[in-house]
């Protein structure tokens, strides 16, 4: 399963870097007709901060929908997806590349928790190591060890996106990029988020030498220690 996700992510990266526009409804963003992550957010959702975390969740959506460090994150059908706009296009995120503060979101803030969450403590992070296996646990060692009194402040919400719903929602990545540059100048601080942000064509003046999609070992080390 992880191998298939990796292949899909590679295809996603190739298509994004080609500059091809993507549909903005519920498409995953890899250019395949009919592919959907199963959600549609027709208007900007109400977002509420998760207490003690630099993360927001959407209590009124029937979806595992979050906002962290300038991007939206959705957990759907056993996979993570990310976008810089609230209704996509969504890019597949490998389990190894999910930011630690997204992994740390307590179980109770998942509005549509998968069945295997049953019995897990609602005030604790999901047991991702139990679900994704020993190899993942080794690669992401220490992901749930952090000083809760030293959590970073949350990124500002891109509230200008409220003006874009229904037929006004930008359909092309290039158009989304232009609107973000004009209205939302925040740049991700988390190294892994920055990789995804750049991969969706939103980075400004930060080239591919920093890596694409998967963070370098150096950046992963910094991420683990946050």
Q: How far is CA 110 from CA 81, 118, 126, 186, 190, in A?
A: 14, 12, 10, 26, 22
Parse the chain into domains and list their residue ranges. Answer: 2-224
pLDDT digits (tens, 9 = 90+) for 46-83: 999 999 999 999 999 999 999 999 999 999 999 999 99
Q: How confident is the model at residue 95 (pLDDT cuts 50, 70, 90)?
A: very high
Q: Which of 215, 214, 219 is nearest to 13 (CA)?
A: 214
Number of residues written out for the chain = 226
pLDDT digits (tens, 9 = 90+) for 136-172: 999 999 999 999 888 999 999 999 999 999 999 998 8
Count CB atoms within 10 A of the CB of residue 159. 11
Q: In what order do the strands lie in the sheet with 91-93?
A: 48-49, 55-57, 64-68, 71-76, 79-83, 91-93
What whole-number percentage of the chain has pLDDT above 70?
73
Nearest 10 degrees: Cα torsion 87, 88, 94, 98:
-50
Q: Would you state the pLDDT for residue 201?
A: 63
**Cα–Cα distance, 134 to 12 (Å, whole number):** 26
Mean pLDDT (whole number) for 76-103: 94
The mean-pLDDT minimum among 10-19, 44-53, 125-134 falls in: 10-19
């Amino acid at each position: 399963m992880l191998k298939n996700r990796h292949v899909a992510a590679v295809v996603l990266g190739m298509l994004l870097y080609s500059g091809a526009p993507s549909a903005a409804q519920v498409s995953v963003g890899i250019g395949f007709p009919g592919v959907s992550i199963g959600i549609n957010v027709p208007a900007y959702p109400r977002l509420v901060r998760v207490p003690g975390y630099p993360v927001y969740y959407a209590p009124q959506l029937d979806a595992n929908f979050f906002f962290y460090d300038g991007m939206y994150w959705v957990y759907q059908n056993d996979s993570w997806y990310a976008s810089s706009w609230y209704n996509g296009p969504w890019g597949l995120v490998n389990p190894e590349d999910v930011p630690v503060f997204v992994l740390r979101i307590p179980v109770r803030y998942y509005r549509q928790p998968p069945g295997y969450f049953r019995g897990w403590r609602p005030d604790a992070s999901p047991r991702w190591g139990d679900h994704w296996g020993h190899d993942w646990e080794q690669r992401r060692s220490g992901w749930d060890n952090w000083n809760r009194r030293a959590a970073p402040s949350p990124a500002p919400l891109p509230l200008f996106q409220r003006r874009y719903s229904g037929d006004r929602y930008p359909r092309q990545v290039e158009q989304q990029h232009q609107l973000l540059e004009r209205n939302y100048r925040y740049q991700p601080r988390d190294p892994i988020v920055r990789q995804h942000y750049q991969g969706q064509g939103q980075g400004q003046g930060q080239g591919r030498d920093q890596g694409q999609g998967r963070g370098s070992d150096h950046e992963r080390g910094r991420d683990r220690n946050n």
